[in-house]
Structures are given as C-alpha cells and as structure tokens.
Amino acid sequence: MKKGVIVQASSRSNGNTSLIVSFVNEELGFDIIDLNKKTIGHFDYEFNNQNDDFNSLFKHIVSNYEIIIFATPIYWYTMSGILKVFLDRISDFLKIEKEFGRLLRGKKMSVISCGSDHEIFDGFTMPFVQSANYLGMDYLGHVHTWLENDEIPNKVNLEIKKFVAKQLNKSTKNT
Ligand SMILES: Cc1cc2nc3c(=O)[nH]c(=O)nc-3n(C[C@H](O)[C@H](O)[C@H](O)COP(=O)(O)O)c2cc1C
C-alpha cells in the first residue's frame, strides 16, 4: 500500500492549485491524480454512469493509498464543482460494490484549498470533516493557500510545511 495520493480538483490542470500541489508534493512525493483530465458524471440514482472514469478511479484509490489529500481551488467560497461531483459519486460505493466503499474506513483525509482571498471563511472544512466522519476516515487537517504575483508567499510556505509534517507524522504513527 502506497502512502498517499493528492486528488487535484481544479478546472485547469496547470493553474494555481496545480502550482501549490507541486510544491506540497516536493516533500510528500505522493502520486497525483488530476480530476480535470477525467470524465466523471454527476451522481445518478439509476447508476447509469458506471462506465465513466469514476468507478475504476475510486477502486484504484481505495486499493492503493492510505492518505487521500483533496486539493481544490476555492470557487464561490467552497470546493470546486469537480470535487463535489467526485464526493457525490462516492455514494455509488455505499449503494453498490459496497466492499470498495468500506475500504475508506481507517484511511486519512486532508484538504488543501487555494483561493485568491487570504481568508478562509467558516464552514469551508465542514463537508470534509463530516464526510470523513461518516465514511470512518481520520481527518488530518486543512491548509489554505494563495499566490502573490504567481508565487507562494512566505506565510503560506510556512503553513504548508506544518501541513506536510502533519501528513507524514500521523501517517507513520498510525500505519
Ligand atoms: C468560478 C470562480 C469562483 C471563485 N471564487 C472565489 C472565492 O469565492 N474566494 C476566493 O478566494 N477566490 C475565488 N476564486 C479565485 C480562485 O480561487 C483562485 O484564483 C485560485 O487560485 C484558482 O485556482 P486554479 O487556478 O487552480 O483554478 C474564484 C475563481 C473562479 C474561477
């Protein structure tokens, strides 16, 4: 089982979130999955979209990684639509092929956000904390980031270092 994966959920593959992800991953060395390159339909109560990219992607993630880091831009004060659709589709594995959904139990979830505001509003992390709780996952925390003149400011750099340490410490302690 590999240590972790960063699920990048921006509407552009080489934008600001990607820059942050690359920086974070210099130390983590996790695999990166770019959801922008996948075809993932909205949740469907009839499960008519089982042949899009989600089914095999989810099985790959739960079979291979202990830590799942969601990296999302802030779009309208919340996670990107791409990430919300990904989370919605986890419901597929709570209804059918439940054995794969159960594999999330005991795994770790973390979140990186990238916005233009330096401030993150109350409530941003709530869906992640509650979803991790519902899915039996251990929530490892969140770091909010932004760029200034296309560069990572010192303050963000320091927060990222703390975030990275948390991923590595907790994962070695608990696995
Ligand atoms: C549709 C849209 C909505 C946005 N809403 C917010 C927002 O609510 N708060 C914020 O700080 N930045 C907001 N932004 C700015 C982005 O979060 C910011 O530019 C981010 O770095 C973009 O990352 P990306 O290049 O990976 O998309 C928004 C951008 C877009 C395109």
pLDDT in tens, 45-102: 999 999 999 999 999 999 999 999 999 999 999 999 999 999 999 999 999 999 999 9
Q: Closest by alpha carbon to 58, among 118, 113, 111, 98?
A: 98
Ligand 1 atom closest to Cα of 10?
26
First-last CA distance in the chain: 10
- What's the angle, vertex CA 81, arms to CA 10 and CA 111, rounded to 5? 60
User: What is the pTM for the complete model shown?
Assistant: 0.96
pLDDT number for residue 175:
37
pLDDT number for residue 169:
80
The chain-wide mean pLDDT, for the chain, equals 95
SS (H, E, C) 11-43: CCCCCHHHHHHHHHHHHHCCEEEEHHHCCCCCC
Count other C-beta atoms under 10 Å from residue 160's C-beta.
19
pLDDT number for residue 117:
96
Q: How close is the Cα of 50 to the center of ligand 1, in Å?
A: 30
pLDDT number for residue 1:
75
Give nearest CA residue, ligand 1 atom 28: 75
Q: Where exactly are the structural domains of the chain?
A: 2-174
CA dist 131 → 20, 27, 45, 94, 164 (Å): 24, 27, 19, 13, 22
Q: How close is the Cα of 73 to the center of ligand 1, in Å?
A: 6
Question: Which is higher by pLDDT, 130 or 168?
Answer: 130
Residue 160 has pLDDT above 90, yes or no: yes
For residue 122, give the H/E element and its range: none
With a pLDDT cut of 90, the percent of the chain lying above it is 94
Give all strands of the β-sheet with 31-34 in edge-to-edge order. 31-34, 2-8, 65-73, 108-114, 138-145
Whether the CB of 10 sits within 6 Å of ligand 1: yes
pLDDT number for residue 172:
45
Ligand 1 site-directed mutation target among 82, 116, 117, 151, most atoms within 8 Å of CB? 116
CATH 3.90.1150.10 fits 2-174, yes or no: no
Q: Closest by alpha carbon to 160, among 12, 22, 13, 61?
A: 22
Q: How close is the Cα of 134 to the center of ligand 1, in Å?
A: 28
